Chains A and B, each alone.
Chain A
Amino acid sequence: MGKREIPEINAGSMADIAFLLLVFFLVTTTINVPEKGVKTVVPKKVEKNDDDQIIKVKVLPRDILKIKANARNQLLIEGEVYEPEEADIIYDMVIKFYDSHTRARGLSEDDIDGDGKTDFPVRWEVTTDTIKQEVEKWKEQLNSALSYDMEPDFFQFMVDRWEDKQMVLDEIGTYYELPDAASIKFETDDETTYGFYLKVLDIIQAAKSKVLNDFCESTWGLKYEDMKFGNSEGGIPNEEKYKKELKIVEMLYPPAKIIDYADKIEDVNY
């Protein structure tokens, strides 16, 4: 039986076919880059309840950094008018808002007004004594709430909060906290252009991230972004690893201090 030889297949056109496919993919595709932008969250609908606990805090005019933008993109900050091109001024103001003045507890309002009036929030020193007092006070209220069958959530929250402050004090030593009422309010007109709105948000965000980075670098020698979003060896997210540190940052620079009026949508109709 003679073995019949199989003729070799001509592969010369293979290259042409492959080239054709290659060109097709080159033309129709883009390289997968992550989508970049400013992330926000749509506010949750809140049902108003009459018997909700309301925390009353003392608000001083200096505690609030009010930024208003009108329909012509002009800014009104702390009573002064700025043109749209001057928006960068917000950067320094936000930094001052977070890190301007520190005072020891026990000083009166007159003392502050005496040695230089300020337009920015004054940070108060947190002392072990005050923490002890407050923890005891709230624990007492928590217990009485439990014995009267009241909702204990609020009191538990206050106890935890003051205990967290003790934790921060133990970790970093003497520290100064922002008053509860301190906040940045960014108010916009409905006719303010979207581009300008995002520009102001961006400046506020950039200033805030500089403040956080400076604090984290001087305290732990790390960048805030790396601690919050990075991954360490073994693929463990840093957010787990630096849980305590991030908690401290959160206590010193509370995240909910920026109030964006574009989120005030309760009465909006579309």
Chain B
Amino acid sequence: MAKFGKKQKKGLPPISTASLPDIVFMLLFFFMVTTVVRENPAKVKYVVPTTKYYDQVEDRSKIAYVYIGTLGDGGKSNIRYEINGNVVDEIVKLKDKLINKQGEMDEKMEDITFTLKIDKSNVDVGQIKRLKKMMQEIDIKLILYSSEQEK
């Protein structure tokens, strides 16, 4: 009869997890540094156009977002303007909101790039012209028509 030797209980030594917090903290700091807090999703619905040519604006502290799109299923008859989570139905009412936004940002009006996220199929050029007219009156200078990039 074969003699079964007693298996020696050698086993692996336990892995030290002492450095785990360090690794996780490193990851944490990496994400804290490279990211910005996500802006609230807009209430109005919009699909921005696609372009081949585009410009870039890097400095996010000098960007203000304006959304123009539809609310609900109204289509063209239900165009709404949104800034800072406020939804208004007329360009006149947007004027004060833009001035408030400038006050909040504490930048000069001509330094702020107003990034316009505009729905491509429901909004038409007449609205853009009226918006530009209003922006001209409050000395807004830079605008960026936000677009997706064609691959």
- Chain A positions within 8 Å of B, measured between CB atoms, are 11-12, 14-15, 18-19, 21-22, 25-26, 28-32, 34-45, 188-195, 197-199, 202-203, 205-206, 209, 262-265, 268-270
Contacts and interface: CB of A to CB of B under 8 A. Distances in A.
Given A42-B141, A198-B51, A199-B49, A35 B146 contact: yes
Interface in B108-141: 113, 115-116, 118-137, 140-141
Contacts of A270: 91-92, 130-131, 133-134
A189 B125 contact: yes
Given A36-B56, A42-B143, A270-B92, A19 B120 contact: no
B28 A25 contact: yes
Given A11-B21, A37-B144, A39-B142, A262 B128 contact: yes
B17 interface: yes
Contact of A37 (B18, B55, B58, B140): B55
A15 B17 contact: yes
A197 B35 contact: no
Nearest to A195: B120
A203 B7 CA distance: 78
B29 to A, nearest CB: 10
Interface of B: 17-18, 20-21, 24-25, 27-28, 31-32, 34-38, 48-49, 51-58, 60, 63, 91-92, 113, 115-116, 118-137, 140-147, 149
A38 B21 contact: no
B49 A198 contact: yes
Contact of A25 (B20, B35, B55, B140): B35
A77 B61 CA distance: 42
Contact of B142 (A26, A41, A189, A209): A41
Contact of B37 (A28, A35, A206): A28
Contacts of B141: 41-42
Given A194-B128, A195-B49, A270-B91, 20 more contacts: A25-B32, A26-B31, A28-B37, A32-B60, A34-B56, A35-B115, A37-B48, A39-B57, A40-B143, A42-B132, A188-B125, A191-B124, A192-B125, A193-B123, A194-B119, A202-B53, A205-B53, A264-B129, A265-B133, A268-B129
B38 A29 contact: yes
A38 B121 contact: no
Contacts of A25: 28, 31-32, 35
Given A19-B24, A262-B132, A191 B63 contact: no
Contacts of B55: 36-39
The 5 A-B residue pairs with the shortest CB-CB distance, nearest first, are: A195-B120, A190-B126, A29-B35, A270-B130, A39-B55
B120 A36 contact: no
Contact of A39 (B126, B132, B135, B143): B143
B144 A39 contact: yes
Nearest to B24: A18
A175 B135 CA distance: 41
A263 B129 CA distance: 7
B98 to A, nearest CB: 12
Nearest to A199: B49
A194 B127 contact: yes
Given A35-B146, A42-B143, A18 B25 contact: yes
Contacts of A19: 24
Contacts of A188: 125
A190 B38 contact: no
Nearest to A22: B28
Given A26-B31, A30-B36, A202-B51, A265 B132 contact: yes
